[in-house]
Amino acid sequence: MPKKVLPLLLLLCVCLASAAVAQPKSPAKPSPCPEVTVTGPSDLVKPGTSYKVTAEVKGGDKDVTPTYNWTISNGVIESGQGTSTITIDTTGATGTITATVDVGGYDRDCSTSASSTSEIEPK
């Protein structure tokens, strides 16, 4: 091999190795699934009163407009079905009330349900 070719080959190998190392990594693709949480009162709820429960959706596909479907185990949804916050009327309810939201619009493989349980003060 001619003497001039070896240094050029060595220089080419060093340049290629440097270029491979210097390539920036593409940023991680964000998850299409959101994190869903539900919060309600942390204190005992007085019987015969109303209180609010709120769902929060963080992350997920930014092009999705979430939908909200609430169910409760006790009491009555007074207002807010279809929104991120509902008001629950506890008239006639005893024990506990669990409010569960199913958030729609996201990939079906995503877990998009969350719940909050509140205890009703004994009479």
Output the pTM of the full model: 0.76
pLDDT in tens, 30-82: 788 999 999 999 999 999 999 999 999 999 999 999 999 999 999 999 999 99
pLDDT in tens, 9-34: 555 555 555 555 555 666 677 788 99
Count how many domains the chain has.
Answer: 1
pLDDT at res. 117 = 97
| Structural domain range at position 110 | 34-119
Please report whether residue 88 resides in a domain: yes
Please report whether residue 56 resides in a domain: yes
Please report whether residue 19 resides in a domain: no
With b for 16 or more beta-carbon neighbours within 10 A and e for fewer, the 29-50 pattern comes to eeeeebebebebeeeebeeeee
The 10 Å Cβ neighbour count of residue 61 is: 15
Please report whether residue 3 resides in a domain: no
Please report whether residue 21 resides in a domain: no
Look at the alpha carbons of 81, 36, 55, 63 in this order and tell me if their dihedral is positive or negative. negative
CATH number at residue 100: 2.60.40.10
